[in-house]
Chains A and B, each alone.
Chain A
Amino acid sequence: ETGVTQSPTHLIKTRGQQVTLRCSSQSGHNTVSWYQQALGQGPQFIFQYYREEENGRGNFPPRFSGLQFPNYSSELNVNALELDDSALYLCASSLAPTADEQFFGPGTRLTVL
């Protein structure tokens, strides 16, 4: 069974650019959640996708958007990058939105210069 994978591992962008991060969910999981983990902080919930629809959103501006595909993989898009967007972005998949466990990927480290 393949776990949650994320790509790329690391990414460097400049302010104002746009970035797309990718996540492949664990086999059989239809729900993907994205979290932002700034340096020295705990992860913060960005949003969740269930069956290709957004299913809950945290306190993040609209320039953070996402997609979920029919195979339940997901993308996180961030437009107009700001310095404060530098963080580790974690993807987590689960069997359902109310499942009792989320399985986390290794994350994508985004640096905005």
Chain B
Amino acid sequence: AQSVTQPDIHITVSEGASLELRCNYSYGATPYLFWYVQSPGQGLQLLLKYFSGDTLVQGIKGFEAEFKRSQSSFNLRKPSVHWSDAAEYFCAVGAMEYGNKLVFGAGTILRVKS
């Protein structure tokens, strides 16, 4: 069965510090990988996606993620966090074989302290 694990429910970082959010997946097909961000009361906004090719992908708002097939991981990083990055972050996996159905992790809530 497909699954996505985000081990950290909450993470608190200081403004200006670096950030890494972890994501591990279990998927029977060649995965497409996504990171979404959700602010309170809002829908999901796509930060970045990986389909193939370069395993380091750049997204919006200065985020990047690295796909590591050997570790089944797709961790999200940002070198310097801004207070406006406080939100909930979701890792998701999909596959062409499953017709665009996304399987999401439980999310990581990011708090930024000044």
Contacts and interface: CB of A to CB of B under 8 A. Distances in A.
Contacts of A90: 43-44
Interface in A62-100: 90, 92, 94, 97-100
Q: How large is the interface on A (under 10, 10 to 19, 20 to 34, 35 or more residues)?
A: 20 to 34
A42 B100 contact: no
State the majority secondary structure of interface residues on B.
mixed
A101 B105 contact: no
Contacts of B42: 106-107
A41 B107 contact: yes
Nearest to B98: A56
Given A42-B90, A42-B105, A101 B99 contact: no
A42 B5 CA distance: 10
B103 A104 contact: no
B13 to A, nearest CB: 21
A4 interface: yes
A7 interface: no
25 contacts: A31-B100, A33-B100, A40-B106, A42-B92, A42-B106, A42-B107, A43-B90, A43-B102, A45-B101, A45-B103, A55-B99, A56-B98, A56-B101, A90-B43, A90-B44, A97-B99, A97-B100, A98-B100, A99-B100, A100-B49, A100-B51, A102-B100, A103-B46, A104-B45, A106-B42
Given A4-B43, A94-B100, 15 more contacts: A33-B102, A40-B106, A41-B106, A41-B107, A42-B90, A42-B106, A48-B99, A55-B99, A56-B101, A90-B43, A98-B99, A99-B100, A100-B32, A103-B46, A107-B43
Interface of B: 4, 32, 36, 41-46, 49, 51, 90, 92, 96, 98-107
Interface of A: 4, 31, 33, 35, 40-45, 48, 55-56, 58, 90, 92, 94, 97-107
